[in-house]
Amino acid sequence: MKKFLKIVMWTVIAAVFVGTFFFLYKNSTSKEETYSEVRPSRGSIERNTVLTGKIEPRDEIEVKPQISGIISEINVEAGDFVREGDVIAHIKVIPDASQLSSAQSRVNNAQIEFDDAKVKYERDKALYEKKVISREEFETSGKTYGKAREELDAANDAYSIVREGVSRYNAKESNTLVRATITGLVLNVPVKVGSSVIQANTMNDGTTVATIADMNNLIFRGNVDETEVGQLHTGMPMTITIGAMPDLHPTAVIEYISPKGSETSGANSFEIKAALALDSSEGLRAGYSANAAVTLAKAADVLTVPESVLTFEGDSTYVYVRTDSLPKPVYERRSLATGLSDGINVEVKSGIDSTAVLRGALNR
């Protein structure tokens, strides 16, 4: 039994030794290298860049009150369509105590002057009818009475405006009515009923009651890297892709390129604005993320080869062209003059023709 085990053990050792020897021998023998081959083809080369940005209205108008007070009523909400002049909110005026007192004092003085002028007018009228005073004196008294009446009306109206913010003679155009200044879509209503608002003045921008925009006049606003901004110019077309609406691909035309860059994460970029060409803005919302594809350069009907067959040395570009195929392929290195590249294929200006067979990747 022990003799049998020894035979088995030596047999295994011998098998391992032979296998190792064969493996090392197999790996030490050189393999014949073979390559794939490609031919040049004619086609078009485009070099594009993609800008990231957003879809925005060209103008967003902030509607502010013409008088300070408290919001008593809001007639719209975000998403509503309004026309210029529509009332979007009402303001309840909280009068200033000193202004209210001054207006009340003006009313009192005007009432006294009016009562006095009325008494004089009625007395002069009776005297004129008795031919005691001249017509000129009577007319002067009438004018004074009329002016006193106008002053009293004006004082009462001023008091009404200070106390309630509403003119008795032009209530429809009252400052307490906040109206839409353009026709468009309400994007935001940042106030609520009961909110205090102040009118714009030299010391304050005023409270925004609503933001309105014309959604039929949209732009793409994005940024381009400083390495590519020099290749863009106003009037260039672009194709827009909107993430939230993948089936919609509107076109746009660049109308603004910022003359000053801004630094973001250590890289300079320049703002781009492009006007969208849309048959309808239905479904679009302000702030949608979008990408814009711009063709920077294009070469049509040119000789092209895959970039993978190129080799580079310094500023020179080479390919390996097959010169013989028997008994095995022989390749010759040739210099190329290349042009536009799209990252996959490159334009060939000179060095080979369409009949050349080029060495490609090594077969493994």
Round to whole Å and give the CA distance between 233 and 253: 10
Per-residue pLDDT of the chain (364 residues; tens, 9 = 90+): 566 666 666 676 766 666 666 666 555 555 566 778 889 999 999 888 899 999 999 989 999 988 888 898 999 999 899 999 999 998 887 766 677 678 788 888 888 888 888 888 888 888 888 887 888 888 888 888 889 888 888 888 777 766 666 666 555 556 678 899 999 999 999 999 989 898 887 788 899 999 999 988 899 999 998 888 888 999 999 999 998 888 888 899 999 999 998 887 778 899 999 999 887 767 788 889 999 999 888 889 999 999 988 988 888 899 999 888 778 888 889 999 998 988 889 999 998 988 888 888 777 6
Please state the separation of Cα 93 from the chain's center in Å: 37
- Cβ 214 vs Cβ 286: under 8 Å: no
- To the nearest 5 percent, what fractions of the chain are helix, strand and coil? 25, 40, 35
Tell me the sheet residues that pair with 161: none
The length of the chain in residues reads 364
Does the pTM exceed 0.85?
no
Q: Residue 73 belongs to what H/E stretch?
A: strand 69-74
- What tokens appear for 337 in the block? 């003059």
